[in-house]
């Protein structure tokens, strides 16, 4: 039996991780589940998967659900609760399925405790990638990518020598507005932005996909996960999301990973690596797909992608500021406070004012995150 804990069990990745657990009840046991505020779903998950420990985002929510929990289940709350689910108990692997840099401290705590990480929460690597990878290396902890593109690259690199890699290419669907000109973006609605063409995901990443911020975050994520310089990381528009990413080697061979878009596949692979297990995902029929399309990335159409890559190249606290500005701007867009195009303007304004600190420690990163959020909230 493999014991796992999930940070963000009630979200899109969290629920699909539990789908994988439910498909292999003989192989997995759930040690801990951490949710935000969806206590109804958390209680349902508790009844079904019998975790020993759970957490919710506030003490008030914890007080509300205490009497509904089976005897013996330990209950925690807040950031301390996330850290407890991440580092307490006896899970072998912690799936980080929280959205945003709120997941940083608990991810570091899980690594410090020697837990392998099924890493979906890409913002933790963007905001503090050097700290996360350094600690994982020191503790001998595996960072197993859940993000579909990174899982693809991880699979393409299996058994290969890293010195033989010429470049990696991360594919991008183009998001909800891939066929819109910039002019057409002026009056788009929240509902339109939330309609991703290929994937059903949480709201924040769906907006990130529409602005192409998601691809920027993924480039930075790949830089840290695969220890590659930015010059060796490309982005290619691929509307079908069938080729999840690919690697070119120095002999000009290209290895790609393909499949129908279903996150249960990379989630399961992160949990079973290096083995592959049966999955209910729809089988890929290339004959049915008929054609696969590709377009060069247009950095003028998608300025946020360029800003992300530039901040990654700059390093220091620049990616932290990029990420925090984006998180606040997306939240404001989803509350109806700002327009879609204002998201990238806010990121730009934040980066213009950002005073970069090289080689930041955790305290500097947290400080940068806090002050950037304060600024992005009032721009
Ligand atoms: N969805 C997808 O297909 C993919 C997602 N990812 C990445 O995975 C991560 C998760 O994305 P996704 O599942 O879509 O996001 P969702 O918004 O669907 O889920 C987020 C989860 O985090 C919980 N949460 C949010 N804030 C807090 C908090 N302060 N304290 C405790 N829990 C909190 C939510 O709890 P609650 O709902 O109970 O409030 C929920 O369980 C993101 O980093 C995303 O970029 C990567 C590739 C694909
Ligand atoms: C499923 C997944 O990994 C997402 O990150 C996905 O990549 C989003 O699609 P975009 O290519 O539109 O950003
Ligand atoms: Mn992805």
ipTM computed for the complex: 0.99
- 63 CA distance to ligand 2 centroid (A)? 36
pLDDT for res 347: 98
Q: Is 249 in the pocket of ligand 1 (CB under 6 A)?
A: no
Please tell me the number of the ligand nearest to residue 215's CA. Answer: 2
8 contacts 96 by C-beta, under 8 angstroms: yes
List % helix, strand, coil for the chain (3-state, nearest 5).
50, 15, 35
Shortest-distance Cα residue to atom 13 of ligand 2: 209
pLDDT of residue 302: 97
pLDDT attached to residue 65 = 98
Beta bridge partners of 2: 28
- Bridge partners, residue 95, by sequence: 6, 118
State phi, psi for 306 to the nearest 5 degrees: -65, -40
The pLDDT score that the predictor gives to residue 290 is 85
Structural domains of the chain, ranges and CATH numbers in brackets: 2-145 (3.40.50.720), 150-260+283-303 (no CATH), 315-379 (1.10.1740.10)
Instruction: Return the C-alpha torsion angle 264, 267, 268, 269, nearest 10.
Output: 130
pLDDT in tens, the chain (379 residues): 999 999 999 999 999 999 999 999 999 999 999 999 999 999 999 999 999 999 999 999 999 999 999 999 999 999 999 999 999 999 999 999 999 999 999 999 999 999 999 999 999 999 999 999 999 999 999 999 999 999 999 999 999 999 999 999 999 999 999 999 999 999 999 999 999 999 999 999 999 999 999 999 999 999 999 999 999 999 999 999 999 999 999 999 999 999 999 999 999 999 999 999 999 999 999 999 889 999 999 999 999 999 999 999 999 999 999 999 999 999 999 999 999 999 999 999 999 999 999 999 999 999 999 999 999 999 9
> Ligand 1 pocket test: which of 94, 120, 210 has the largest number of ligand atoms within 8 Å of its C-beta?
120
CA-proximal residue: ligand 1, atom 36 (nearest): 36
CA 295, 297, 303, 308 dihedral sign is positive
Measured by CA distance, the residue closest to atom 2 of ligand 2 is 148
pLDDT value at position 289? 87
Neighbours of 183 (CB within 10 A): 7
Question: What's the confidence (pLDDT) of residue 374?
Answer: 98
What pTM, to 2 d.p., does this model score?
Answer: 0.98
Tell me: the pLDDT tens digits for 223-250?
999 999 999 999 999 999 999 999 999 9
Going from the C-alpha of 319 to that of each of 205, 338, 341, 365, 369, the distances in angstroms are: 17, 23, 20, 10, 10
pLDDT at 193: 98
């Amino acid at each position: 039996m493999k014991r796992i804990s999930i940070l963000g069990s009630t979200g899109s990745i969290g629920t699909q991780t539990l789908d994988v657990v439910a498909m292999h009840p003989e192989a997995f046991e759930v040690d801990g589940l951490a949710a935000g505020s969806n206590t109804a779903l958390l209680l349902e998950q508790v009844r079904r998967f019998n975790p020993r420990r759970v957490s919710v985002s506030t003490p008030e929510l914890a007080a509300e659900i205490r009497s509904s929990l089976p005897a013996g289940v330990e209950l925690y709350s807040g950031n301390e609760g996330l850290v407890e689910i991440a580092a307490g108990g006896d899970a072998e692997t912690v799936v980080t399925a929280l959205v945003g840099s709120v997941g940083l401290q608990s991810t570091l705590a899980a690594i410090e405790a020697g837990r392998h990480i099924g890493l979906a929460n890409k913002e933790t690597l963007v905001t503090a990638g050097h700290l996360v990878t350094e600690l994982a290396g020191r503790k001998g902890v595996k960072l197993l990518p859940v993000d579909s593109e990174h899982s693809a690259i991880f699979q393409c690199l299996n058994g290969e020598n890293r010195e033989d890699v010429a470049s990696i290419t991360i594919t991008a669907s183009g998001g909800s507005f891939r066929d819109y000109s910039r002019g057409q973006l002026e009056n788009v609605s929240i509902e339109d932005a939330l309609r991703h063409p290929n994937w059903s995901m949480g709201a924040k990443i769906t907006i990130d996909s529409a602005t192409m911020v998601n691809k920027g975050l993924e480039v930075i994520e790949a830089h840290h996960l695969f220890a590659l310089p930015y010059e060796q990381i490309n982005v290619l528009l691929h509307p079908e999301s069938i080729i999840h990413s690919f690697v070119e080697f120095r002999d000009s061979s290209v290895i790609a990973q393909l499949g129908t878009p279903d996150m249960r596949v990379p989630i399961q692979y992160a949990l079973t690596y290096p083995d592959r297990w049966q999955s209910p995902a729809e089988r890929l029929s290339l004959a049915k797909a008929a054609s696969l399309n590709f377009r060069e990335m247009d950095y003028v159409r998608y300025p946020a992608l360029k800003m992300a890559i530039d901040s990654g190249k700059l390093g220091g606290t620049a990616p932290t500021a990029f990420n925090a500005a984006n998180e606040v701007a997306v939240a404001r867009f989803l509350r109806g406070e700002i327009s879609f195009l204002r998201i990238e303007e806010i990121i730009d304004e934040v980066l213009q004012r950002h005073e970069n600190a090289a080689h930041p420690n955790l305290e500097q990163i947290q400080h940068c995150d806090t002050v950037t959020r304060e600024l992005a909230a009032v721009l």
